[in-house]
Homo-oligomer: A and B are copies of this chain.
Amino acid sequence: MPWPQEITLGNSIVEVKPNFTIVVNQEITERIEVATTKFLRRLSGRTGIFLENGFAFKHSEIKNPSLEITYKRVGNLEINEDESYQLNIFPTKITIEATTDIGVIYALETLLQLVDNNETTYFFPEVIIKDFPRFTWRGLMIDVARHFHPVDVIKRNLDAMASVKMNVLHWHLTDDQGFRVESKTHPKLHLLGSDGFFYTQEQIKDVVKYAGDRGIRVVPEIDVPGHATAILTAYPEIGSKDTIYSIERFSGIFDPTLDPTNEKTYAFLADLFEEIAALFPDKYFHIGGDENEGKHWDENNHIQDFKRKHNLKTNHDLQTFMNIRLDTILSKLGKNLMGWEEIMTDEMPTTALIHSWKGVNEGVKPGSSLATAAKNGYNTILSNGYYVDLMQPASEHYIVDPMPKNNTLTSEERKRVLGGEATMWSELATSETLDSRLWPRTAAIAERFWSSEEIKDISSMYNRLETISFRLEELGINHIKNKAVILRNITNNQSIEALEVLTKIYEPLKIYTRNKGGTEYKTYSPFTLFADACTADASDAIVFNNLVSDYIETENSAAKNKILVFLNKWAKNQEQFSKIKVKNPILKSIEPLSKNITRISKDLIKIIETKETSKASQQSIKSQLIELEKPLVDVELAILKSLEKLSSFIFE
């Protein structure tokens, strides 16, 4: 995963032996060195094989290597770069051929996914793989403003991205809740706008280099003119309201907005953009531009005068006025402006890249700005449908294609759809929970960006996702192991078994329901709660829901028996929960989840086994289902619909 473009399987295998060696036929670039060394460590770590050679060799140093790597040139970190590779696993030798060293990285990732074993050996299957990406922009946005995520968190996620062949980190560096980059020209930004949580410029450079070694571009975002409370906390003089600002602790859309009529604003941004642009070699620079409601503009007489004077009818016109000036600033710095879809107006030059994000929640057709942008001559990428922080199942993201369905785009216009970006907003994610919000679902999105559009079987995706998910642990992604950490904290180091059972059928509230209006959680609220141990795609729920559909459709007894196994497990949960001797307030708040699922499971077992389908028991189940529908402790029951279907079927 992502599934390669072309696979030809052979019948043989190639055993991994301690004398496994890699030879590189060209210069061992830093990228190749990092990739081959990491490959050898992961191969050794996974198999327990004591490899004799810990590093790749140059062509001249060794004969008959196990793996021979050939590439033509160093890859550039830019759009439409050649990322293709061919991987041949023959009984005599494994070869990797690629145009660029970036292709080599991807070939090595594919090769690692192919490690297999029997009882006596580890081996690679004989295969020929020809592979290349469908889209050139395969991004992940990480929001480090709402919760700060230190360098090591970003680095491990860059490793994870590379492992699923993603190639753009969009770094959302500023927002109302924080300004996260050291600024030498305007140091108050990080000193007053970050609570001490920011990246130094050297750290930024380190991350950019780390990403580049993995074939990943890094696009910075400085969000203006809205989402700018942190900036205004440091420099209130460029705000649209004469007031004292302070770092926002809640989530949502706030009023503080830069003043687009103030020349100081442009002087400030020109300095800042120049400084930030120097840290990021990428061609693109994201200026945000989203969700500016202009309330402070409406309240400001000077700004109203300015609008009239310049014949700017709406606040959107005023923002466009500003964006054009920002585009000029960025052009001088050799950068292409990129922004959320609000920046697209008649005046915006087509060198800009339009980031399509709005959908049902914003009252528009999902991703509709994407086709418009392509038609209007802009390069564009899609994020609507890829908001992984909203805790929707992987399947829902997987079916979203960056290329609009049934579109009327010309082939020229289609080329302007560069790809997409998963977005990880972190209002509800700390560094302890970020990984479990990102992974493994982002891997399904990565497949959508890389693989052929024909690859869309949901159940195949889920099967492969389970393996990918487990393998991400090898890269330090903590999405699996941190669940137990949260549960141990909740039980105060008593048994977590009963809670684990619950996390496999309960999921965090979805879309924007967990933090209604952004006022339930502050940035410093606890994210060590039961909902934080839960994830989208609760594992038992996926299996149970399939079983129930299967059973209702076919009435086969195998499915029925498996359903009963699950019901029996849940029926016993409250007994298990009761064994947690010393209770605390958190446990007390969770206990109803356990009691409720135990009760309905017991009742359903009895009804299924005795076929006792009286009105009374039907009524009891019905009222229990109504009770189960009410969200508790910020989670919802992921098997609720199946329980409803199963009940209807039983009482039919």
Interface residues of A (CB under 8 A from B): 33-34, 37, 40-41, 44-51, 54, 117-122, 150-152, 195-196, 200, 202, 206, 249, 432, 466-467, 470, 473-474, 476, 478, 480-482, 484-485, 488-490, 492-493, 522-529, 583-586, 588
Contact = CB atoms under 8 A, between A and B. Distances in A.
A586 B45 CA distance: 11
A234 B503 CA distance: 53
B470 A44 contact: no
B481 A484 contact: yes
A264 B585 CA distance: 68
A516 to B, nearest CB: 15
Contact of A588 (B119, B206, B473, B525): B119
B485 A482 contact: no
B45 A528 contact: yes
A555 to B, nearest CB: 29
Given A481-B485, A482-B481, A48 B585 contact: yes
Q: Which of A33, A484, A489 has the most CB of B within 10 A?
A: A489
Contacts of A151: 151-152
A33 B33 CA distance: 42
A50 B525 contact: yes
Contacts of A473: 485, 488-489
A369 B5 CA distance: 68
23 contacts: A33-B196, A40-B524, A44-B524, A45-B489, A45-B526, A45-B528, A46-B528, A47-B526, A47-B586, A48-B529, A50-B526, A51-B524, A54-B523, A117-B584, A119-B584, A122-B585, A151-B152, A152-B152, A432-B476, A473-B489, A478-B481, A481-B484, A481-B485
Contacts of A47: 526, 585-586
Contacts of A484: 480-481, 484
A46 B202 contact: no
Nearest to A521: B50
B526 A489 contact: no
Given A44-B524, A45-B527, A202-B202, 10 more contacts: A34-B196, A40-B524, A46-B489, A47-B585, A54-B524, A117-B584, A152-B152, A470-B488, A481-B481, A481-B482
Closest A-B pairs by Cβ, 3 of them: A54-B524, A152-B152, A481-B481
B584 A122 contact: yes
A527 B50 CA distance: 10
Contacts of A33: 196
B481 A467 contact: no
A315 to B, nearest CB: 33
A470 B491 CA distance: 11
B467 A493 contact: yes
A44 to B, nearest CB: 5
A152 B484 CA distance: 21
A474 B489 contact: yes
A526 to B, nearest CB: 5
Contacts of A51: 524
Nearest to A522: B54
A481 B525 CA distance: 24
Nearest to A153: B152
A585 B482 CA distance: 28
Nearest to A37: B195
A196 B33 CA distance: 10
